[in-house]
Every structure is written in C-alpha cells, then in structure tokens.
Amino acid sequence: MNNTYTRLCNTLYYFIGAFLCWLGIILDNDMTKPGRLALIIFLLVVGIVPPFLFSYNIFDYEKYKKAYLFSFIVMSFVLYVIWNSITLFVCALFLMSMLSLLYLDSGFNRFQAFVNMAALTILFVFERLTDNITMDEFTFVLVFIMLLGTNFIGQQITKLILLERFKSLQQERSLDDMLRVVESKVDEARNAAKSKSEFLSNMSHEIRTPINAVLGMNEMITRESENDQISEYSRNIASSGNMLLALINDILDLSKIESGKVAIIRVEYQLSTVCNDLMNMIKDRASKKNLGLKLKINPQIPNYLYGDEVRIRQIVLNLLTNAVKYTEEGTITLNVDYVQRTKGQIDLSFSVKDTGRGIKKQDIDKLFSSFQRLEEAKNKNIEGTGLGLAIVGGYVKLMHGKIDVISDYGKGSEFIVSIPQKVIKSDEIGEFDFKFNKPAAKANAYKPSFKASKAKILAVDDNNMNLIVVKNLLKATQIRIDFAHGGQECIEKVRNEFYDVILLDHMMPEMDGTECLKYMKQENLIKKTPVIALTANAVSGAKEEYIKQGFDDYLSKPIVPLELENMLRHWLPGWLIENNLD
C-alpha cells in the first residue's frame, strides 16, 4: 500500500472519530463551557495534528497508524464519559473494526482486535472500580464475543481482498514479464533483421565490385574482338556474369521485402508494351529448349494503366522463367485478362501456364518460402536459389494483389496473379500480336550513342580496375577522362581543373565519396559540375539517399554501358555533344 493511500485512511479514521466526539459535545447540555472547550482542544490535538504533520512526511504512515488506533480508543472513552453509555462505546469499537478494513492489512486487523478487547476489558474494570456499572458480566462476555466475531469476519474479508489483489498483482506482473519478453524478442528480431540487411548490403557491394570489372572488361572483348570463337567465349562470360548478378539482385530484393524497404512506385504505362517486352525477354530461353510460346490477351483490356510497371514486369518474368526452367517439352502460355472493379479501376490478371513437371498438392504451400526448392534431388540440375516465387509473393502482397496456383503433378502448372490497377484511358488494347525484337547485330558492331571529344570528366574510385573499366567503356565516345584514387586526390584535381562531370565512388578509405562531396561544396569547388554517385551500393532507396546527400544522380555497379552513356549525355552541356547516334 502506498503512503498516499495510508495517509488518506489515517485521516479518515481520525475525522470520523473526532466528528462523533464533537457531535457528543455539542449535544451534551450538562457540560460546562470550560470543560467543553478543553475537550475540543484535546480532540483537536488527538485528531487533527497527526494527519497535518503526516502530510509533510514527518512520520512513517504505515507504523503510525497504530497510534491512530489508540487515539480512536481515547475518543471512544470520551463518548462514553459524555453520554455515560456503554452502547456508544461498543458502537465506536465496532466502527473502528470496520474502518480498519480500509488498510487491507491482515496483520493490522489482528492488532486492532487485541486493542479492542483490551479497551473493553479496561472499561469493564473501570466500571467496577467506580461503582458505575452499566454492563453486567453476561453482557460483557456477549459484547466481547461479538467484537471478536466482528474482527474475525473483518480479517477474513481483508484476506479475501488481499488474495484477490495479490492475484491481480501476479497477473499484472506476469503480463509485464510477458510484455518484457515479447519486447526483448522483438528487439532481437529487429537487430537480427538489421544485421542481416547490413550483411546482405555489404556482401552485395563487395561482390558487385569484382563483377563490375569482369563484365566491364568482357564488354571490351565483345566490342573489339574480330575472332568469332573469342566472341562466343565472351558472350558466355556475359551470360554467366549476368546470371550471378541476377542471383545477387534476388537476394537483395528479398531482403528489401522482408525489411519493408520496398517502395511501390506507380507510373502511367502501356500494357501492350509490357506484354511485348515480357515475351521478348523470355523467347530466347524458350527457344533453346524448343518450347512453344503463346500470348493470349483479352482485346477489351484497357491499354493505358497506372501502377508499378517495374514490379509487374518482375513478377510475370519470374513466373515465365520458372515455367521454362521446369518444362522439358510443350508450350508456355501467358494469358492476360481483367475484371472490372469500378469505372476507373480493374483487377489485372496474368496467368502463366506450362506443360512441365507440375507440383504435388502437399508442396503448394511451400512454394513461396525463401531459399526452398521442391524435390531437390529431382531438380538438382535446374539453376536458381528458390527465391523467385518468394519475391513474387512479396511483391504481389505489397501491391494488394493475390496469387493462386493450379497444378496437376506430372502434367503442368498454372500461376494466376491478380493485381489492382488504375485505368488512365478507356482505349482497349485490341487484337495484339507480340513482335520479336530484331536480332542483335554482330557483337563487334558496337557504336557509341554519342561523341564528345571536348568534354572532360573525372572518375574517382579506389579500385584501379573500376577506373580502367570506365575508361574503356567510354573510349568510343572520345570523352577525355582524368582519374583519382581517393577523396583527397579528387579534391586536389578539382582545385586545379574544371570538369564537366564527376563520377564519384562512395565507399573509399580515408575520405569516402559523401565526405569528399561535402568538402567540395563547402569550398565552392564544384559550382556548376554535376556529381554522379557511381557505386556498388544497390539497396532500396539508395538513389534517393545519395541525392539527399547532395549528389546530382546515381549509377550502380556493375556498370551497364548504355546506362553510363545515357547518364553522361544527360548531364553534359548540350554544346559538347558533337553528334547523337542514338
């Protein structure tokens, strides 16, 4: 029991006792004024002063409540003297027994019972000594037993209340303990997720750096080799390198989904373009296995939609890729349909059907689990990590869609994805036949998309191989390139030379890219020079974060040659672009 509650009980105890006594004084016509005044002062001292002092924390409320008990006995005797009534005295003792229950203290109740019996016994003896007998022996025994019974009942009530209170406290304590455990587990899970996310991000960065060198140098072999056999080797390297990069991207995508860092970016797009691109992206894989490829589109579907076109492409391409992987013969069919929800919104449906191995019914629930592949022994020769469908499920959920699976084991499967999309225009897609992209020209027929021989840029990276890759990829554009191997060297070069664009790596020793950029801005070294973050950091939101830090744009490694050229063509002053070969 806290001190505030005890003080309240003590004060109430006294006020009731004092009030009864003052009432007796007022109603007693035989009492003289001096006697009445003396008694009032006495009761004030006994009844008012201790609570007043207790309000200033002078006494220990818990211990001093026993003094209150004795004071109440004094008041009971005052009532007896004023009214010469044993009934009032006994009623006061009974009232005291009831008031003691307020303390919810079984130990105090036992002490109060002892004081009550002692007070009653003293009064019995006092009456015998003064020959003012108002209570015979039988009445004394009866009252004694009554007070004992009252105190016994009071103790039982107190125990019951205390027991319930104890149970309540135990439940609260258990709940608090559970909440603490849950909070601890949540913190552990958050820390684990954070550590996993940081690990994947760091590993992605470390792996992307050498892949950038491998793919970049291989691009130069592809461009410059005139030997058909070497060109074939180069294409195989590019294929394997891109496959490795795809696996890293899958792991990063899954990490982003699990950590809730995926941003759904909605844009206006044409459904016909998406379908055509999807079929072109999967056609080579299907043709290598001699599989048929069909596209069926409801001609009444609105062609101009609003949604996350990139995620939709990724979802359907994952499903098509899986269909090709697990189909040895037959046909892959992409069926595109819709259901009208409201006037301006539809449920866009993609169905990917294959004639492959199919899925056992008991395995369907495992399809969307991370890092899990069904029938490992049977499918051991099929490439992949088992992340594709986990990513698909995550993206579908983020876009408030749904995915269903229909499969006949040994005969084939059908994956049906439905995603809400906003309709921009009511124009229907109509009868649609996808057009294959034109076959790529010979690998060594590369031509730059522009030339800018008067442009001068600075590439900053602590990895010398990355600088060589940038130099070779831009060789055909005739751009003049200076190199810096760290932040300090970058600053020194910028002090002495003007550059049209700076390609600045982020993670470098001593002074990283962000610190270097901040220093150059503070020193007014790059008033009109755009600075592009060229980094292996490819986590979700990286571009936005770099732009927030002051970079003008962002390009991730491994460098895609055409993206690098497009980036520079965008940021270089127009008068430096000598010809546009796009």
Give the pLDDT confidence score for residue 376 in this predicted structure.
47
pLDDT in tens, 278-334: 888 888 888 889 999 999 999 999 999 999 888 898 889 889 988 998 898 999 999
Q: What is the pLDDT of residue 279?
A: 87
165-191: pLDDT as tens digits: 666 666 777 777 787 888 887 788 777
Start-to-end CA distance of the chain, whole Å, equals: 84
Q: How confident is the model at residue 563 (pLDDT cuts 50, 70, 90)?
A: confident
* 528 vs 88, higher pLDDT: 528
Q: How confident is the model at residue 416 (pLDDT cuts 50, 70, 90)?
A: very high
How do residues 5-22 score in pLDDT, each as one tens digit? 566 666 666 666 666 666
* Residue 492 to residue 497: CA distance in whole angstroms: 9
Question: How buried is 179 (Cβ within 10 angstroms: 0-12 exposed, 13-18 middle, 19+ buried)?
Answer: exposed
Total residues found in the chain within this entry: 582
Helix ranges, 28-105 (H): 33-47, 49-54, 61-83, 86-99
* Domains delineated in the chain: 3-135 (no CATH), 267-443 (3.30.565.10), 447-580 (3.40.50.2300)
Summarised one tens digit per residue, pLDDT across range 112-134 is: 777 777 777 777 777 777 777 77
Instruction: Please tell me the predicted confidence (pLDDT) of residue 439.
Output: 43
* Long-range CB pairs of 38-45, under 8 A, 24+ apart, other chains included: 39/78, 39/82, 42/78, 43/18, 43/75, 43/78, 44/18
Mean pLDDT of all residues in 532-557: 82
Which residues does 164 contact at the CB level (< 8 Å), separation at least 6?
none
Q: For residue range 371-380, list pLDDT tens digits in order.
A: 455 554 454 4
Asked if the model's pLDDT at residue 102 lies above 80, the reply is no
